[in-house]
Amino acid sequence: MKAVNLKPFEELCFDNRFVKCLPADPNLENRRRQVSNACYSWVHPTPVRAPSLVCWSREMLAELGLNEADSQSNEFLQIFAGNLLLEGMQPHAMCYGGHQFGHWAGQLGDGRAILLGDIKNEKEQYWSLQLKGAGPTPYSRSADGLAVLRSSLREFLCSEAMYHLGVPTTRALSLVLTGESVVRDMFYDGNPQHEPGAIVCRVAPNFIRFGNFQILTAQGDVDTLKQLVNFTIETEFPDLGSPSKEVYAEWFKRVCQLTADMVVEWMRVGFVHGVMNTDNMSILGLTIDYGPYGWLENFDPDWTPNTTDAQGKRYRFGTQPQIAQWNLLQLAEAIYPLIEDVKPLEQALQFYADYYQQSAQTMYAKKLGFKQSNSQTEKLSSALNQLLQTVETDMTLFYRGLSQLSMDQKEIDNEGRLRQVFDKSWYQPDQIDVAYLNQLRDWLHQYQSALRTNGIDEQYRVQHMNNVNPKYVLRNYLAQLAIDQVEQGDNALLHELLEVFRNPYDEQPEKERYAERRPEWARHRAGCSMLSCSS
């Protein structure tokens, strides 16, 4: 594929530091195979027949120095459908391995994602552009390297929703239908179907994962491992200083911190990743690889959105902090050959546990409107988590409702007022009996007392609760409704949802229908609650 220079895209400054600094696979054949002594393989996107632009992110356009008029051009469409390369692009697929559901899976790699190159914007920031679903690579194993609309739309919409929620995440630039069908067995039940193909352009400072380091250690390639670690520190963590054994240990501790920060934010908004394999863990502490994710609607710490994980529930909501630490342990083992000392790695893992615990306690205190965590707020948060499990309660709606309830004694003791505030968060109204209401009142009295003890006035409480407890989250049924409509050629709902999620903490009275609990019809409908990895 010949590279071209087109206005206004000629102003994009490509500085492909990853491929410039790290070893490439010398084999140029695009066939499934094992790759060694390399961080990536050269590969071009597969052209598609009839692309059409479905959606784009105006915020991400601006980061790259483009505008919405540029996104409506045919050149933009052809570039981000994989049909056209700009001068400076050097398309490649990364080599990495990983643990999947706790078991070493060997080489994995970018099986259907192709990096176009790294853009350096006017603010001296680097953004890697990656087309997901752009065709086979040497890492595709037995797959076709393609993606379908349902998974691509979910990734595009969730990436941008998470960004506006304030959760560390990879971003999305565009969503393109390819005009071609892709065969997928959505339920893994032997009934594959033709689905519309799509490509999402993902964007991040880099796409390096824990698995990029793991595969090199597994291959015994310490030289390339050292090159990759040095590159990562020099480009993303330059404040740590020149690479050395001491700096490697400090870098690992920093990764532990970033990972903890990410998971705390997941828990704050009720997000469940669903596939926390080590190859799905970003070295920058970004949420990456949006597959069978979901939002905790009914507050059930044992819930997982992934049908593949339905029995073991390894990646359920409540275990995400522990799984992150387990994944960090695997990264520690991968970089051990560079440090040859267990102690600093063990200290960093303990730091993760302590730092996460402290950060989570602070987060839960802020969700209740407190300025900081203490023994009283910790006891209160723990009691609330138990209360939310007593009946089927929507976590997002409960916290928003709590901010609307005045901490006045008469209001707390008024059953009619309690039902008015919290009814919308209860999925099974017949569960709300006298015993439960008494438990709720008891907790509210404790909450009222704690607010007074900590000097939190009503105005401060309401404002700060609504700053950390979103009103709008990307419930799976909303994403599925958007998918259904786009499949029928109607993109309106997708664009409306993207607009709503730009301001997830605002009331937006005219969009109230998007802040309602999951409807009963969606409880067991495919795509509206649990999902498979099929995409």
* Active site residue ranges: 279
Determine the longest span between alpha carbons in the chain, in angstroms.
Answer: 75
Q: In this structure, what DSSP letter does residue 494 have?
A: H
Give the residue among 327, 326, 317, 314 at the shortest CA–CA distance from 271: 317
CA-to-CA dists, residue 217 to 107, 211, 212, 294, 336, angstroms? 12, 10, 9, 33, 9
Q: Please say whether the beta carbons of 432 and 491 come within 8 A.
A: no
Q: At what angle do helices 210-218 and 222-236 cross, to 10 degrees?
A: 160
Q: Which of 124, 123, 116 is nearest to 235 (CA)?
A: 124
β-strands 85-86, 3-4 pairing:
parallel
Q: Are 135 and 45 in contact (CB under 8 A)?
A: yes
Contact yes or no for 174/200 (Cβ under 8 A): yes
Q: Please tell me whether residue 79 adopts helix, strand or coil conformation.
A: helix
| C-alpha distance from residue 180 to each of 50, 80, 162 (Å) | 7, 15, 29
Q: Which helix (H) or strand (E) holds 123?
A: none
30 token code pair: 């695009």
Asked if residue 429 has a cis previous peptide bond (ω within 30° of 0), the answer is no
Cα gap 105→100, rounded to integer Å: 6
Could you give the C-alpha distances from 195 to 142, 483, 484, 509, in angstroms and in order?
A: 19, 11, 12, 36
Per the DSSP assignment, residues forming a β-bridge with 98 are none
Residue 419 burial (CB count, 10 A): 14
H/E segment holding residue 106: strand 103-107
- Residues constituting the chain: 535
Q: Which residues of 436-468 are buried (b: 16+ CB within 10 A; e: fewer)?
A: eeeebeebbeebeebbeebebeeeebbebbbeb
Continuous segment of H or E residues that includes residue 212? helix 210-218
- CA distances (Å), origin 418, targets 401, 406, 422, 469: 9, 10, 6, 19
Q: What does the DSSP assignment read for 138-176?
A: TT-TTS-SB-BHHHHHHHHHHHHHHHHHT--B-EEEEEE
